[in-house]
Chains A and B, each alone.
Chain A
Amino acid sequence: MSLEASSDRPRRRDLLDQREYVGIEEISGPIVALRGIHDVGYNELVEVIDGTGRVRLGMTLEVSSGAAVVQVFEGTSGLKLGSTRVRFRGEPLRMAVSPEVLGRVFDGLGRPIDGGPDPIGEPSDVNGLPINPTAREYPRQFIQTGISAIDGMNTLVRGQKLPIFSGSGLPHMQLVAQVSRQARIVSEDSGFAVVFAGMGIKHDEAMYYIRNFEESGAMERAAVFLSLADAPSVERLITPRVALTVAEYLATEMGMHVLVIMTDMTNYCEALREISTEREEIPSRKGYPGYLYSDLASLYERSGIIKDRPGSITQMPVLTMPNDDISHPVPDLSGFITEGQIVLERDLSQRGIYPPIAGLPSLSRLMTDGIGEGMTREDHAHLASQLFAAYAHVKDIRALASVIGEEELAPVDHTYLKFGDVFENDFLSQSFDENRSIEQTLDLGWKAVSVLPREELHRITEEELKKYYRK
């Protein structure tokens, strides 16, 4: 698979599109402007050829009669106004997809970097098309990740987009690796094909994931796309699109269940901001363009299940919150689009708790339909709700204790502190290779709430209490 950069296949393209222009008018950051060309299409593929003959790919950002503004994915360094040559391809950026992509590693634009051959296949527009809402199947199949904080309280379902909001230095890599290793549908006992898009991440981090996929045997069902930190930043704008195009192919055409990991979305957004600033667009918050929401949606919404088709796309994007600030535009706008978020918390991590999944701001919006009798267990929803409520109270009590001292707390509040400890140490904490069944997770949840007196458990029914409380 490679971007259809060679022109050997027959294509609907008129003669004008084969013209090559010499000389460009302006270079500004990753953007070049051209004049005196034929009328080219908006959002179409461009080949920019430098003095050494190297072909760089780009895309039109704006077109008008005889002129175009082009962003060059592979950067503009070394380009000269006079000697640069340009060809317009008369089609959007497309990529060849086929089953051969599995087990392979590609660069951020979809070209193999593992020494293997270019896979051959049907070219698809990397921008994708919006799924018709009437064609969607509502996701409701419980995915067991083996991680209590996720399965018990923020349940992931097949076809969901559930991001990880992390901070620098927090163990999102381990968590993602653990999820991709352990995730399965219990009744089917089948794993996922993994499509991995690394954007602006370091070489070490990329190697960590690849090694993990290899060790767990997931690599043969994985396709990896890497636009590493030292690649030109604009390239990152394409990487997730290429990856999602492959994922869509595997899901809709091959009927596979695909887990897409995209990391780090903050790097992606910064590249978008760079282009926007370069074009002197009016910024909204923190210099990010006003269309960041729509742009992110064009990625995140490429997940889900389509009626009467066997496959699915589950997304787990990863982003780092600058300064651990969840109200920063990147996590904020992501949270408005994704179906929940797993938030990592520095305080928990510093106390040595892994995975440091924050109890309160984390949320899975699709949880309700995927849990309960016949899927997980009948007490699941109420237990989870009770855990959230009680843990919220723990936070209040801890704050109060820090003001008035623990001794001054009412007796019931002491039991809440105890609950907090059991919750964090027994339920939340687990090791990197511990794969808990959903029953184990729920039982640990009951162990924690059983610390509390019965009258405090407003969210649990009498029946459930009889069956599980202090058992």
Chain B
Amino acid sequence: MAERVIGKVGRVVGPVVEAREVAGVEMLEMVFVGDERLVGEVVRIRNDAAWIQVYEDTTGLRPGTPVYGKGEPLSVELGPGLIGGIYDGVQRPLDVLRAQSGDFISKGIHVTALDRERRWEFEPVAEAGSEVFPGQIIGHVRETELIEHRIMVPPRMGGTLVDIAPPGEYVLEDVIGHLKGDGGERELKLYQKWPVRVGRPYKTRRPHTVPLITGQRVLDTLFPVARGGVVVVPGGFGTGKTMVQHALAKWCDADLVVYIGCGERGNEMTEVLLDFPKLIDPRTGRYLMERTILIANTSNMPVAAREASIYTGITLAEYYRDMGYHVAVMADSTSRWAEALRELSGRLEEMPADEGFPAYLPTRLAEFYERAGSVEALSGADGSITTIGAVSPPGGDFSEPVTQHTKRFVRAFWALDKQLANARHYPSVSWLASYSEYTDDVTEWWDETTKGEWKDLRSSIISIMQREARLERVVKLVGADVLPDSQRLILETAKIFKNAFLQQNAFDEVDAFCVAEKQYRMLKIIVRFYDLALEAIKKGGTLVGVKKLGVMRDIMQMKFEYANEDAGKLEELEKKLEESINEFGSIFG
């Protein structure tokens, strides 16, 4: 269907426009509204009226002006050139917008998401005349040093590959092949389009087995997430949601990161734009920007585009998943998305449910999180999407609707705690309120990596932290002085674990992220400390004596003193610990 006039503007209330005298429009069709041709999407049709959510500021829009239908749903462009880009919620490249309209975002500007001029080196891998199936990889383009872009037959298409272009340089609009199928002959290009609100199809779902290593000890060790998993990070303002998301975007071991800044601060996106092109991915030695796509629809940008931004982001992620990549998606913050939904729903005069949110909030949340997962793609490759959504509960109160509904659809919960943040204990992930249901899924992987020790070490430290929580309640009433040394050792070990292990300063050069081996060795040292010290105390040593040992300062500083490359050397520290405590204990026989 081509572009045509489908009606005219009847009523304007903020970002919602009611079109009148409408004919032949489709639900979720993309439209252009008014003389300035503001981009919008049809969200309701009733008789000859259609309701449109508009992705740009509607100031100055007048009743009576035309509405044009584009003849297709709101879609994104998928092809080489996405990586390293920064887009708004409806995939307009912000750098191109800036070149066209200056430092401030004005409206009614129409640009393509992908660069039409750039030439890409294409390498075909399919034969002309062969039968190809939907999703099949038919060629390659080197998109960045890190990512080989696999050109695929679009989903739902298949048939005979009539011809395919020889190796060479092509621009996106060049036809690189023809496909003959049930629907006739179709041109293939280096890019395809996909409607954002529809998940891209895959063959089957796969079980979760491999952790997504985040480099944050509290997460990997206590509340791991599997590749393909879904996590929510709730926390009041200033508790560290964005820092967690940024840390993951920087250091997690995904092949590709899609970072969605959804209704948050402009400067936070600027920070990513500034840092990522300079930061080196420790696993690959390449710049982080070479594996990152940014979606930025900040709090002051149009609210309807904010609603669309998370779909835009996840669709890009699915596309790379289909090529066989492990993608991590960060959405900061899904609460702002939900609020956008609420505002649009209010303007549409729908019946509200909890706190003004529409009744379909949980359905929409479920749909979004369902698009994560570990799959066998149509191409046959294994790929995954891990989704980490931040939630910003009003007043930091987790009983509010967005947190509560999200909890139903995710399997890991990284609760950020105001008290910890106030004491500048970062990341302020509460070890009492958080959980992960992926622990069992990833235990085998960890045990293989740590000679079978991880599971037991982890249970030991968890048990210590639980006993500490109980003891703390006693201490709050009577003070720690009355406890026997064996119990104060629990408090002491917990203190070491919190300070030396759980806390991780995102700004520290050495400790900003921590490889799996270092995590395991540090954990082992702390658990060993507890066991050895307990023995010494049982023999008659005092905790005060243990605390005076020189090795204690080494333990407190180990996260800074041992770089990730030197994680193996922590074995020496473990030996030193054994020796010092044994020596200390031997005095008492």
**A-B contacts, CB under 8 A, total:** 213
Of B14, B265, B394, which one neighbours A301 at CB under 8 angstroms?
B265
Question: Which A residues touch B13, using CB under 8 A?
Answer: 42, 61-62
A75 within 8 A of B: no
B162 within 8 A of A: no
Q: Mark B411-431, 1 if CB is under 8 A from A, else 0.
A: 000000001001111000000
Q: Mark A281-319, 1 if CB is under 8 A from B, else 0.
A: 111110000110110011001101011010000000000
Q: Check A290–B60 contact: CB distance below 8 A.
A: no
Q: Check A43–B60 contact: CB distance below 8 A.
A: yes
Give A143 Cβ to nearest chain B Cβ, in Å: 16
Of B59, B273, B355, B422, which one neighbours A92 at CB under 8 angstroms?
B59
Of A43, A335, A389, A393, which one neighbours B237 at CB under 8 angstroms?
A335
A133-B94, A327-B395, A400-B479 given as contacts; is B105 within 8 A of A293 (CB)? no
B399 within 8 A of A: no
Q: Check B479–A301 contact: CB distance below 8 A.
A: no
| Complex: A86 Cα to B506 Cα, angstroms | 58
Which of A27-35, A106-114, A359-367 interfaces with chain B?
A359-367
Question: Which A residues touch B419, using CB under 8 A?
Answer: 392
| Complex: A332 Cα to B400 Cα, angstroms | 14
A133-B273, A332-B237, A392-B422 given as contacts; is B61 within 8 A of A42 (CB)? yes
| Complex: A417 Cα to B239 Cα, angstroms | 26
Q: Check B266–A304 contact: CB distance below 8 A.
A: yes
| Complex: A22 Cα to B58 Cα, angstroms | 27
Question: Which B residues touch A389, using CB under 8 A?
Answer: 423-425
A63, A127, A403 — most chain B CB neighbours (10 Å): A63
Q: Check A136–B62 contact: CB distance below 8 A.
A: no
B 393-445 contacts with A by CB, 8 A: 394-397, 419, 422-425
Give B505 Cβ to nearest chain A Cβ, in Å: 8
Q: Check B424–A335 contact: CB distance below 8 A.
A: no
Of A129, A132, A281, A385, which one neighbours B98 at CB under 8 angstroms?
A132
| Complex: A337 Cα to B392 Cα, angstroms | 11
A41-B59, A297-B299 given as contacts; is B12 within 8 A of A281 (CB)? no
B24 within 8 A of A: no
A132-B105, A360-B423 given as contacts; is B265 within 8 A of A64 (CB)? no
Question: Which A residues touch B478, using CB under 8 A?
Answer: 404, 408
| Complex: A105 Cα to B37 Cα, angstroms | 40
Of B64, B237, B296, B299, which one neighbours A65 at CB under 8 angstroms?
B64
| Complex: A319 Cα to B346 Cα, angstroms | 28
Q: Check B479–A408 contact: CB distance below 8 A.
A: yes
Q: Check A139–B267 contact: CB distance below 8 A.
A: yes
| Complex: A91 Cα to B60 Cα, angstroms | 7
A214 within 8 A of B: no
| Complex: A365 Cα to B238 Cα, angstroms | 8
A363-B238, A389-B424 given as contacts; is B266 within 8 A of A458 (CB)? no
A368 within 8 A of B: yes
A388 within 8 A of B: yes
Q: Check A458–B556 contact: CB distance below 8 A.
A: yes
Q: Check A130–B267 contact: CB distance below 8 A.
A: no
| Complex: A136 Cα to B1 Cα, angstroms | 40
Question: Which A residues touch B106, using CB under 8 A?
Answer: 129
Q: Check A290–B270 contact: CB distance below 8 A.
A: no
Q: Check A62–B356 contact: CB distance below 8 A.
A: no
A 368-395 contacts with B by CB, 8 A: 368, 381, 385, 388-389, 392-393
A 319-349 contacts with B by CB, 8 A: 327-329, 332-333, 335-337, 339-341
* Chain B residues in the interface with A (C-beta under 8 A): 10-14, 18, 20, 58-64, 86, 94-95, 97-98, 102-106, 236-238, 261, 263, 265-267, 269-271, 273-274, 296, 298-301, 303, 336, 339, 342-343, 346, 352, 355-356, 392, 394-397, 419, 422-425, 475-481, 499, 505, 507, 547, 553, 556-557, 560
Nearest 10 A/B pairs, CB to CB = A327-B395, A297-B299, A392-B423, A64-B11, A129-B104, A335-B237, A135-B103, A360-B422, A301-B300, A43-B59
